[in-house]
């Protein structure tokens, strides 16, 4: 990176301290009093910096790296070039994440947008019946509606809209231009800019005379430690609640329909759509642009590949892909068979 | 649902009154002076509550229900367990919609975000040349540009942006953070938060020297009784208008390109993309994540399955699926043939 | 179009002046002192107006047109009906673009939303440490954070949020409700409403104990003459920068992951998703709803069809389609083979 940095760096750090913090293994005597000035991707790391190898795609870059040290798993230790210190760890990406938080502790949660010292901006609009705990930051243009409650340590970003009656827990970061209605948000939740949560679900009783609106009277429950990406939309429940389970991470531009229940620690990549009343059990992972049909159940730990579509219930633990989603092996066989078919002709 | 409700409930209601309002049939003497306290989904309904059965997926829940009464069609009446009152109606979902509006009349349109008693907030920004009828609510942070006209009974949500010259009709709900430009909006229109309407369409004359912007001089016309979901984007026409026909319902995160003409009472599910200059005739229905190519015409009442892509004109009334979209039977045959092919090997 | 126009028209213009400006060819003596009052699409153009033919789909409309003149390529000159003046140009769409900018010069960049005469609104929130050059327009409700720099001639739309430390160059149009963080924006950039740029990328070190946030310390670099559509999201780099190259045009609701590098003059249609760390070389074109997997490289000038998914590196210059994307011929063969297979049965 070049001139302008947005985060303050906590550096340099002694390499020996890094090794100890991460519980890394290295050749005896390799680590002395080296200082590490920064972290960097493997293709760009310079002397004095530390990098990591996780994706085998970048093994070739390993041979060329100028980094002082590299975090890697056991199998790559022998491929680390001479003059570079190999730091063996079990999970290099996890170790790198931990290391990043040492160098850039500020970046563990979004910075305030406006940049003031906290407190409640004079340019925020706060309903007299709202209940704001101590130590809350509310930035300019944010609106806090009637009866809202916000827990201590939370930051409400510029122009965010916290609709009447919404609860936001403690230590949350609500991004700029987020709109919350009919939502109950736990603690340590991060909502990135443009998230809309709690608007009416898409419920209409259709007929040749036109379509009648079905009142949507449920809520959105966002549990602790959830993170939700920019411009993602979550509809409130029709006649029960839409629920996002503890620790679940959702990327940008995901659509979550009414009554959906998402378990704990799920991972949902960008542009996924989850149709109404479906259930994701804990630790489900869904790749980008995939879809989940309505009224189905995805079993615990199931993984759905990018751009695939789950049309029916999927058992726990499996890996699925295709349209409709099937076990990945079957999906691969179908693609291969189709290719072969054209070769015959 | 648990403690905190966002909507006031109009309850209890006499069951006999419900039966009469819905025109439901029931066994003689079944309905006396029972009071109904609430509506609920079939798996959660308790004594004193009323539920409905529409999706055959939930027939098993019917046998277990503790509801006092259940709305269902003729074929399920005999499956209603003893002690539960079967209310036979032609269209259970339509009846339930009607019932929901009795219990939760507030939920038929979005609530104001801020929660004040209506009127024009001191914290709204209103251009002196804007023309606001009586009985309009404008919430904090909303901006009403030069020459804008807003009809009586409409609500402009927190931080909504009504760009210069835009017209909004009567009894509309414009959600928080909506951005309208170059748009004419009819009466009884609901726009959920984050909708962007009337920005430049994607028009560039491409060349190896770079791409020249083609001025987009049309408008967006949103007719009466249209509802549009959160974060949906509608580009204004390039050299004519983009039109959303009366009574059409559009879900979240839908993209509608310049010059598109959508007929009356269409239903477009979330994450659909409709490319420029295409025409949807009346009562077209499009499933989630589907696509419509540019410059084509979808005939009246045609239905396109989720994640399918209409590449060419599609005749009225049919059901289509696949990439490219073909009659659904042909699509199913192709999927079956592919599966069979892999079984042979 | 009907009564209300949003753009002032610069008309009438002498046809002879148009012919000269565009360098068009026409039959000798055809052009005298005709005045042109407006531009219009071929199916709607009236006497006194000028239109163009580019898409062969509209050849039938050519025979019926009432336009005074039509821009077309050599091959269609003979199909122009008697009484209509054929203006032969090499690239009719490019010529029409140029013509549109003559009639509607205002429409070459978004209009201010509020409609005031420029300057800095009293209702904007500007941090005392922000640095605003002369001739900047800042509309009501916009927030300019600490240390922000904005170049002369730029317009910051209503309720846009320019987060602390962001740089916006000269002659930019930042739409209403845009949110910029950790971003450096060049000159002549247009961001349509609801764009979110610079929020945290989706980086988590996953584990059965939950998922640890990986700090995202990079930036977003948006080079000169870029245009980005409504509600598009661009994550900042994880440990390097996300880059959008000069002259690249991005449509609505596109998702661009962390560390992505997009070259110069690329064209990316709506609802495309580009996964983290992928590289698009110059002049890449990607159709609507397509996807690009992470950590791959798309060669210069490659074209990816709508709803296709690039899973691996794609060589420069080719045309690709399907899931996964392959050369279009192979894709067409596969679709045909599948269809044939069902016909046999």
Q: Contacts of residue C158 in chain B, CB cutoff 8 Å?
A: 125, 143, 145, 161, 163
Q: Do C113 and C145 belong together in one domain?
A: yes
Q: Do C97 and C129 belong together in one domain?
A: no
**Nearest Cβ partner for A270 among C165, C202, C208:** C202
Distance between CA B179 and CA B185 in Å, rounded? 12
> Do B107 and A179 count as a contact with CB atoms less than 8 A apart?
no
Residue B186 lies in a domain: no
In chain B, % of residues over pLDDT 90 = 91
Res C11: pLDDT: 93
Give residue for tokens 């055809």: C30
- Label residue B4 by pLDDT band (50, 70, 90): low
What would the pLDDT profile of C252-274 be if each residue is shown by its tens digit? 999 999 999 999 999 999 999 99
Q: Do B215 and B321 belong together in one domain?
A: yes
Q: Is C305 exposed, middle or buried (0-12, 13-18, 19+ CB in 10 A)?
A: middle
Token duo for residue A211 = 């379509």
Res C343: pLDDT: 79
Under 8 Å between Cβ of C11 and C106: no
Using the predicted structure, report yes or no on whether residue B290 has a pLDDT greater than 80: yes
User: Helix, strand, or coil here: B64?
Assistant: helix
What would the pLDDT profile of B22-40 be if each residue is shown by its tens digit? 999 999 999 999 999 999 9
Q: Do C18 and C154 belong together in one domain?
A: no
Distance between CA C274 and CA A340 in Å, rounded? 29
Using the predicted structure, report yes or no on whether residue A43 has a pLDDT greater than 50: yes
Number of domains in chain B: 3
Res C4: pLDDT: 67
Under 8 Å between Cβ of A46 and A100: no
**Nearest Cβ partner for B255 among C97, C141, C271:** C271
Residue B234 lies in a domain: no
pTM of the complete model beyond 0.80: yes
Which chains would you list as touching C if contact means 3+ CB atom pairs under 8 Å? A, B
What would the pLDDT profile of B135-190 be if each residue is shown by its tens digit? 999 999 999 999 999 999 999 999 999 999 999 999 999 999 999 999 999 999 99
ipTM of the complex: 0.95
Residue A191 lies in a domain: no
Residue A325 lies in a domain: yes
Q: Do A207 and A311 belong together in one domain?
A: yes
Residue B212 lies in a domain: yes
**Nearest Cβ partner for C159 among B143, B196, B337:** B143
- Label residue B1 by pLDDT band (50, 70, 90): very low
What would the pLDDT profile of A272-307 be if each residue is shown by its tens digit? 999 999 999 999 999 999 999 999 999 999 999 999
Token duo for residue C330 = 């192979």
Q: Do B292 and B316 belong together in one domain?
A: yes
Q: Contacts of residue C273 in chain A, CB cutoff 8 Å?
A: 253, 270-271, 288-289
Q: Do A274 and A160 belong together in one domain?
A: no
Residue A282 lies in a domain: yes
Residue C8 lies in a domain: no
Residue A56 lies in a domain: yes
Domain of C71, in residue numbers: 13-108
Where does a domain end: A79, A108, A137? A108
What would the pLDDT profile of A155-167 be if each residue is shown by its tens digit? 999 999 999 999 9
Res A5: pLDDT: 77
- Label residue B5 by pLDDT band (50, 70, 90): confident
CATH number at residue C74: 3.40.1390.10
Q: Do B75 and B29 belong together in one domain?
A: yes
- Label residue B2 by pLDDT band (50, 70, 90): very low
- Label residue B107 by pLDDT band (50, 70, 90): very high
Using the predicted structure, report yes or no on whether residue C78 has a pLDDT greater than 70: yes
Using the predicted structure, report yes or no on whether residue C317 has a pLDDT greater than 90: yes
Using the predicted structure, report yes or no on whether residue A345 has a pLDDT greater than 60: no
Where does a domain end: C108, C127, C157? C108
Q: Residue C65 — φ and ψ, nearest 5°?
A: -65, 145
Antiparallel, parallel or unpaired: β C279-280 and C261-262: parallel
What would the pLDDT profile of A236-265 be if each residue is shown by its tens digit? 999 899 999 999 999 999 999 999 999 999
What is the SS3 string spanning chain C? CCCCCCCCCCCCEEHHHHHHHHCCECCCCCCCCCEECEECCCCCCCCCEEEECCCHHHHHHHHHCCCCEEEECHHHHHHCCCCCEEEECCCHHHHHHHHHHHHCHHHHCCCCCCCCCCCECCCCEECCCCEECCCCEECCCCEECCCCEECCCCEECCCCEECCCCEECCCCEECCCCEECCEEECCCCEECCCCEEEECCCCEECCCCCCEECCCCCCEEECCCCEECCCCEEECCCCCCEEECCCCEECCCCEECCCCEECCCCEECCCCEECCCCEECCCCEECCCCEECCCCEECCCCEECCCCEECCCECCCCEEECCCCEEHHHHHHHHHHHHHHHHHC
Under 8 Å between Cβ of A28 and A8: no
How far C323 CA sits from the closest chain B CA (Å)?
11
Res B343: pLDDT: 79
Q: Do C104 and C18 belong together in one domain?
A: yes
Determine the residue among C270, C282, C324 to mutate to test chain B binding: the one whose Cβ has the most chain B Cβ atoms within 10 Å.
C270
Where does a domain end: A90, A108, A126? A108
Q: Do C250 and C345 belong together in one domain?
A: yes
* Exposure on the CB side of residue A45, measured as CA atoms within 13 A: 28
Residue C214's Cα: distance from chain center in Å? Answer: 32
Average of per-residue pLDDT values in chain C: 95
Closest by CA to C307, choosing from B309, B23, A203, B148, is B309
Distance between CA B196 and CA A71 in Å, rounded? 45
Q: Contacts of residue B240 in chain C, CB cutoff 8 Å?
A: 1, 40-41, 44
Q: Do C209 and C167 belong together in one domain?
A: no
Q: Do B249 and B316 belong together in one domain?
A: yes
CATH number at residue A205: 2.160.10.10
Calculate mean pLDDT across residues C210-215: 94
How far B26 CA sits from the closest chain A CA (Å)?
22
Under 8 Å between Cβ of B65 and B71: no
What would the pLDDT profile of A121-147 be if each residue is shown by its tens digit? 999 999 999 999 999 999 999 999 999
Calculate mean pLDDT across residues B92-113: 93
Average of per-residue pLDDT values in chain B: 95
Res C171: pLDDT: 98
Using the predicted structure, report yes or no on whether residue C152 has a pLDDT greater than 70: yes
- Closest-approach residue (CA) in chain A for B105: A215
Using the predicted structure, report yes or no on whether residue B338 has a pLDDT greater than 90: no
User: Helix, strand, or coil here: A146?
Assistant: coil
């Amino acid at each position: 990176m070049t001139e302008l940095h947005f985060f303050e760096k906590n550096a340099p750090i002694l390499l020996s301290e890094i090794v100890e913090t991460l519980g890394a293994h290295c050749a005896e005597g390799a680590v002395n009093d080296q200082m590490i000035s920064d972290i960097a991707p493997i293709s760009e790391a310079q002397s004095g910096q530390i990098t990591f190898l996780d994706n085998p795609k970048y093994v070739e870059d390993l041979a060329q790296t100028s980094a002082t040290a590299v975090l890697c798993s056991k199998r790559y230790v022998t491929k680390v070039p001479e003059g570079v210190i190999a730091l063996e760890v079990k999970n290099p990406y996890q170790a790198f994440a931990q290391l990043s938080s040492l160098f850039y502790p500020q970046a563990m949660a979004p910075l305030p947008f406006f940049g003031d010292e906290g407190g409640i901006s004079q340019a925020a609009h706060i309903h007299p019946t709202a209940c704001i705990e101590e130590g809350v930051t509310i930035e300019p243009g944010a609106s806090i509606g009637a009866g809202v409650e916000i827990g201590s340590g939370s930051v409400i970003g510029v122009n965010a809209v916290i609709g009447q009656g919404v609860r936001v827990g403690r230590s949350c970061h609500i991004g700029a231009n987020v709109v919350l209605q009919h939502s109950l948000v736990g603690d340590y939740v991060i909502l990135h800019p443009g998230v809309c949560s709690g608007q009416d679900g898409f419920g209409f009783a259709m007929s040749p005379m036109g379509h009648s609106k079905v009142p949507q009277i449920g809520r959105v429950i966002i549990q602790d430690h959830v993170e939700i990406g920019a411009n993602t939309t979550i509809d409130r429940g029709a006649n029960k609640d839409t629920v996002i389970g503890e620790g679940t991470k959702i990327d940008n531009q995901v659509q979550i329909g009414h009554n959906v229940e998402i378990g704990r620690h799920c991972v949902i990549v960008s542009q996924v759509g989850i149709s109404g009343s479906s259930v994701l059990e804990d630790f489900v992972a869904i790749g980008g642009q995939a879809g989940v049909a309505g009224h189905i159940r995805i079993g615990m730990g199931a993984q759905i590949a990018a751009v695939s579509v789950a049309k029916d219930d999927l058992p726990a633990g499996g890996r699925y892909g295709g349209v409709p989603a099937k076990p990945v092996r079957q999906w691969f066989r179908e693609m291969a068979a189709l290719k072969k078919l054209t070769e015959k002709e």
